[in-house]
Amino acid sequence: MSNSREVIIIVDDDATNLTVGKSTLSEKYDVFTTSSGEKLFSLLDRISPDLILLDIRMPGMDGYEVIERLKRSAKTEHIPVIFLTSRIDPGSEVKGLNLGAVDYITKPFSRELLLKRIDLHILFEKQKKELLKHTISLEYEVDRKTRTVLELQTTILKTVAELVECRDNITGGHIERTEQYLRILIDLLLEHGVYTEEISAWDIDLLVMSCQLHDVGKISIKDSILMKPGKLTVEECSEMKKHTTYGVDIIRRIEEGTSENAFMSYAEIMAGTHHERWDGAGYPSGLKGEEIPLPGRLMAIIDVYDALTNDRPYKKAFTHERALEIIRDGLGTKFDPVLCEIFVTHGDEFKNMVVKEIPPGEALSKLGPTMEVISNALGVRSGTVPGHLERMRRYLEILYDAMVQHESFRQVVSSWDKEVFLLSAQLHDVGKIAVADHILTKPYELSDEEFEDIIYHVEFGLKVIQEVKESVEDRSILHHAEMLVGYHHEKWDGTGYPRGLKGKRIPLQGRIMAIVDVYDALTTDRPHRKKMSHEEAVAAIKKGSGTQFDPEIVKLFVASEEEFKKVF
C-alpha cells in the first residue's frame, strides 16, 4: 500500500456493491471492504482511513448505530462518513447528517458520479487537514513570539525600574528584592489566614509585578535631591515627598493609553500609598489605619526593610537584626500592627531570601504593553504630547509600507518582522531616563553642558538595551531597538551624534526614525517652542534632504505626506 494514496473503507452487506465500489475507486485510492459494522471496528484497529462509505440498512448494527459509535470515540470521530442508501427519504438523510455524516450517495452506483463525489470529499478533507496543520503551526509561532516579546517587556520593565532607582544611588537589585519580599509576605498572610478575603480578589502575579513602579515618580525629582549625600532641607524633603503624587500622575496618564487596567491600578496604589502611615502621619494624603489600601501597607514595610538593609546616599546599611528592631518599633504607628507582627516573626525568611526570577509561566502571560508603560512615563516626564507612541507607530508604519514597495529598500525592509520593528520603536528614547528633569523640560535654549547631557541619552539608551540583551534568551528581537536607540540622531552629512556616521553607514532603522522623530517633534508643542503646521514641518524635512536626512527616504515621506497629515 502506497503511503501517498488516501485510504477508503466501504461497509456494505451487499457483495456486488463492495465489488463495484472497490473496482471504481482502486485506481486512485487504497480501498478496503467489509460486510458489517462489527467487522468495520475490527478493521479500524489496524487501519486509519481517510473516508468511510457506510451502508445504512445492514443486519445487526445498522449504519446509524455505526456512525454514533464512530463519533463517540476520539480515535475515529474525525473520520468523514458518507452514507450509502437505496432509499430516497429526506427524513433519513436529515437523521444521518445530524449524526455527523458529510454526504449521501444513492445505490446502485453510477461509477463516474461515485468517483467524482469521492474525489471532491477527499480533496476537501485534504484541504481541511492542511488548514488545521497551518493553524496549529501559526498558533505555535504566535505563542512563541508572544512569549518572547513578553519576556522582553518584563526584562525591560525591570531594567528601567532599576535605573530609576540608580538615579538616587540605590543598590542594584532593589526591584527584584522588593518583588520577592512582597510575594513572601503575601504568602505568609495567607498562611496565617490574615486579610484572606481581600487577597483572594487580587491577581497576585500582576500585583507583585506592579510594585516595580512604586517609585516611578522619582523620574521627576531633581538629581541634586535624589543623590544628595547629606540630610535634606525642609524644602528638599517637601519636594522629595512629591514623588508619590508624581508617580500617581504618571501612571494615570499612562493608563489612558493602555488596556492593562488591573496592572496599572495596582501600580497606582503602590506609588501613591507606600509612604502613608498607620497613625495618619504619612504622606501624601495622611490616610490612617485601614483607610490605606492593603497593597500600600504591605509595600510600606518591605520598602523600609530594603532601605534599612542596603546602603543609601545618606547612610550605611543596617544589619538585618537592627532593621527588624526599627520596624518593630513602628508597629501601630508607622505600620499595620498585624502585618508588622507577621513580618517580624518571620524575619529570617526575608534575611535568607535568594533573589530569583519569577518563572515565566507565573506572570509573563498576564502582562501586556509594558514597553508603553516605560515609554509613556518618559513622555510624561519630558512633556511630550499624549498620543506620542501611537503617532510614532503610525508614522513608522506608513514609511515601512512605502519602503516595502520601493526597489531600493524592498529587500532589506521586507526581511524585517514588521510588528517587532514597530514595537521596538517605542524604546528609541529610553536613554532619557538618565537626563535630569530640568534639562528635559527647559523652556529655552540649552547650554553647551546641558546639550552634552542630552547627547548622552543615546549612549545610556544603548546601555539599557545591552543590559536587557544579557537577560533574555532571544536577543535578536532587540536588534531593531538597538539600531533605533543608537542612530536616530545621526545625520546624512555626518554632523549628527553620537558617532558622526555619514550616509548609508547610518543603519537604515536610524535613518527612518530620524525623519519620523523630527516630524513628530515639529508638529507638537515642546517646552522650548510651539508646534509647527503640517506644511511647515514637511518643508523643514524637505530642506534637510541630503544634509540631515536620507534623500531617498525623504522622497517617500513627501509622497506619503497626506497619510502623515491624517495621523497628525
What pLDDT sits at residue 379?
52
CB neighbours of residue 485 within 10 Å: 29
pLDDT of residue 292: 97
pLDDT of amino acid 8: 94
Look at the block and give the residue holding cell 546599611: 317
Treating both helix axes as pointing N-terminal to C-terminal, what angle do 370-382 and 243-255 enclose, rounded to 10 degrees? 120
- What span, in angstroms and rounded, lies between the C-alpha atoms of 249 and 113? 73
What is residue 106's predicted lDDT score, i.e. its pLDDT?
Answer: 82
**β-pair type (81-85, 30-34):** unpaired
The confidence score (pLDDT) of residue 224 equals: 75
Q: The C-alpha cell of 519 is what?
A: 516630524
Locus of grid cell 476520539: 74
Dihedral sign, Cα of residue 487, residue 488, residue 491, residue 495: negative
- 85 forms beta bridges with 106
Residue ranges of domains in the chain, CATH in brackets: 7-109 (3.40.50.2300), 164-366 (1.10.3210.10), 383-567 (1.10.3210.10)
128 to 5, 118, 122: CA distances (angstroms): 17, 15, 10
Question: Taking the alpha carbons of 457, 443, 162, 387 in that order, is the dihedral positive or negative?
Answer: negative
Angle at which helices 388-404 and 551-559 cross, to 10°: 100
List of the chain residues with pLDDT < 50: 1-2, 169, 171, 355-373, 380-383, 385
| Chain-centroid distance, C-alpha 93 | 50
Q: Are 549 and 514 in contact (CB under 8 A)?
A: yes
Residue with cell 488548514: 131
